[in-house]
Structure 1
Amino acid sequence: MAQENDNTYKMLFSYRRMVSDLLTGFVREDWVQELDLSTLEKVNASYVADELRERHDDLVWRVRWGEEWLYVYLLLEFQSTVDPYMAVRMPAYVSLLYQDLTRQGKLTDKGLLPPVLPVVLYNGEPRWSAATDVDELIERVPGGLERYRLSMQYLLLDEGQILEQETSTELKNLVHALFRLEYSRNEQDLIKVLAQVVEWLKAPEQRGLRRAFLTWFRRVYLRRKHVPEPDRELIDQAQELEEVHEMLAERVDKWHEHWRQEGRQEGRQEHAVETLLRLIERKFGPEAKEASRARVERAAIGELEMWFDRAIDAERVEDVFSTD
């Protein structure tokens, strides 16, 4: 599932509007103001190192910077768990990219390599704690050897931390909206943000990105929620994000009632399992309890109640589960 989530994110960031909003909303450095965002262009990210090792899963963009035609490549790495050695991986990826640019002769007017902005987009639950510069992972040594230390920093976008520290929830930024959808506290927050996304992407030329958000909703959000099957099927059949928004607004209260009933049923089920296992242990011993556990935990509530009634009078544990 993690790989599918990554693919869904990569689909979203295959659109110029998402990369533009990422740069203007989350790279708070002066040079971003000099970018001509209308020139953003996705380039082939399948580059080959001298050892013929291929990478096909990067997203790389280029954009004009200032008056000269310079390249800024964005490597977007999508992580859902903290990788303590991400700072080692990123220089390797950038080196592969530079090798490819050198082979193709895609250098600046001065014959130099273009700048690269490596970005890690992280959506995991624990806050990111790994080093953001490979220099931090290399042992310090005395003498002149330290001058040869490798150093390269990547830009970390920790979604949860960004939302914890935000001062405004009204930013007209699709990347910010994506983060809020990902971490929506309740369905009402989700409906509000989804309405904003629908409004911002209502133009006909944004249809592809609307579909990408619709795919995200199906593959990421719905898999976290026990949405009633009829509504899940309707969402799967929806052709537009606006249809999903309208459906949520109309049906979310029914979903809450469905979840409350599920919770009560699960509580009743768990209580019945534990009660039956305690009775088996008292009558037939700990070994019989452990031998019966897997079967009891898989049983429906009706079977559990029937087996409990049998266990009261049974002389052997086998009689509890007898099919005669």
Structure 2
Amino acid sequence: MTAHHDIGYRALFAHPELVRDLLAGFTPFKLFGGIALSCFKRINATYVSERAVRREGDMVWRVQLGAGLHVYVLLEFQASVEHLMAVRMQTYIGLLYQDLGKRHELRRGKLLPPVLPLVFYNGQRRWSASLDLAGVLMAAPAGLAPFQPAQRYVLIDQKRLDQSTLKTTANVLALLFRLELSSAPEVVEEIVPALITWLCARPQRGLRRSVARWANRVVERRSGKPGPFSLENMEEIADMGRKLLTWAEEFESIGFKKGRAEGKAEGKLIALRAMVDTLLRSRFGELPAPALQRIEQGTHAQLDRWFKRGLTAASLDAVFGDGEQ
């Protein structure tokens, strides 16, 4: 049975933007960072062996690195440790090569393309399976060692990613991973405002929808309340701010220890202030000191008004409405 987290990640990584972010930001292979999105193509990940036994990999992408050079990226999503993952990856790679031949995608005499096998793991237990097939094979008798199979795969253990690295990684995946891993105050003050700003700035509706749905599921799982992210039109995007404030009040259940009413009001102001600051920086760059002071001293009503204006305003003057910064 397919785990719910698998479905969520498959929806995220159905977008070439996020596949590129994953490869460039969370693997050692930085060469993917400069590759155009048009060079990423998702291909069939269902193969049938010679015995008609149906096998499925989670996702396969073909990435064109240069003229005549393609790399196939096999993405496998795991919520639990699989002791024989290296065996499974070797099987998937063999079936992929076999499938390429059956579909006549290899010219006669042409060498097989390189493959990057990648396991994305978000389970609670630390990953303990061998990353190398040699780790699950018995030692071969003398003389047979050269004939034993070999296979390695790359592991991304999401729940054990370094927090400082996540903070310095400038892509939306880092924000989504931090949403799962960070403390409640950091989520309210930094991560959610940054995600809202990212959603506002992205014209691709399908990509925004996948990110918003995934983020809402994480928020609901952590807080027990519906997430604040919406995206269908500008009115709903503007309403995310109000949803965030309501949601922040309930954040105490996951560690936002502001039990009294005045504490909740303070938390709402902190969240709204961070949201306005993030939005305006994304639209107008570094903010001048007077603008920062106004945000810091703004009332709830002023901050709400500046956030709504900031979505479409042409300048900071238009945001603050009176020509002052």
TM exceeding 0.5: yes
Deviations 1:156-211 (A, max 9, x none): 001122225x4461321122222112212215425522332333343453221111
Aligned to 1:7, the other structure's residue is in SS state helix
Counterpart residue identity of residue 244, structure 2:
A
Q: Which residue does the alignment assign to 1:177?
A: 175
Distance (Å, rounded) in 1 between the aligned partners of 2:193 and 2:113: 39
Aligned to 1:6: 6
Q: Provide the rounded CA distance (Å) in 2 between the counterparts of 1:59 and 1:167.
A: 26
> Which residue of structure 2 lines up, in the alignment, with residue 90 of structure 1?
89
Equivalent residue, structure 1, for 2:128: 129
User: 1:244-273: per-residue Cα shift (whole Å, max 9, x none)?
Assistant: 85245312442146789xxx9xxxxxxxxx
**Secondary structure of residue in 2 paired with 1:125:** coil
- Residue number in structure 2 paired with 1:310: none
Residue 158 (structure 2) aligns with: 159
Aligned to 1:24: 24
User: CA distance change for structure 1 residues 257 and 120 in 2, over 3 Å: closer, same or farther?
Assistant: closer
Closer, same or farther in 2 for the Cα pair 1:61/1:256, shift >3 Å?
closer
% identity of equivalent residues: 36
Correspondence list, 1:135-146, <5 A: 135-146=134-145
- Structure 1 residue corresponding to 2:249, chosen from 242, 249, 254: 254
Q: Displacement, 1:130?
A: 1.2
TM-score, length-scaled by structure 2: 0.68
Q: Which residue of 1 aligns with 2:219?
A: 221
How far did residue 217 of structure 1 move?
A: 2.7
User: Structure 2 counterpart of 1:27, which letter?
Assistant: T
* Pair 61,168 (structure 1): closer, same or farther in 2 beyond 3 Å: closer
Match of 1:79 in 2: 78
Q: Can you list the C-alpha shifts for 1:130-152, whole angstroms capped at 9, x where unaligned? A: 10111111011331111111111
Structure 1 SS opposite 2:144: helix
Which of 182, 192, 198 in structure 1 is aligned with 2:196?
Answer: 198
Structure label with greater radius of gyration: 1
Give the Cα–Cα distance (whole angstroms) in 1 for the partners of residues 99 and 134 of structure 2: 25
CA deviation map 1:203-236 (0-9, x unaligned): 4532211111222133343134322xxxx3x859
**2-side partners of 1:131 and 1:19: how far apart?**
24
Aligned residue pairs: how many?
A: 254
CA separation in 2, counterparts of 1:186 and 1:109? Answer: 58
Amino acid at match of 1:16: P
- Indicate the RMSD between aligned Cα atoms, in angstroms: 3.1
CA distance in 1, matches of 2:189, 2:51: 49
Q: Give the distance between the partners of 1:167 and 1:33, measured in 2 at CA.
A: 17
Task: Judge which range, 100-109 or 70-79, deviates more.
Answer: 100-109
C-alpha distance in 2, partners of 1:80/1:62?
24
Choose 123-132 or 9-18, whichever is displaced more: 123-132
CA distance in 1, matches of 2:239, 2:55: 35
Structure 2 match to 1:295: none
- 2:155 is paired with a residue whose SS is strand
2:16 maps to amino acid: R
Q: Distance in 2 between matches of 1:202 and 1:109?
A: 49
Contact 2:20 2:33 in 1 (8 A): no
Q: Which position in structure 2 is the counterpart of 1:285?
A: none
The structural deviation recorded for 1:124 is 1.3
What SS is found at the alignment partner of 1:128? Answer: coil
- Kindly indicate whether the alpha-carbon contact (under 8 Å) linking 2:47 and 2:96 is maintained by their aligned counterparts in 1: yes
The aligned amino acid for 1:215 is: R
CA distance in 2, matches of 1:252, 1:225: 8
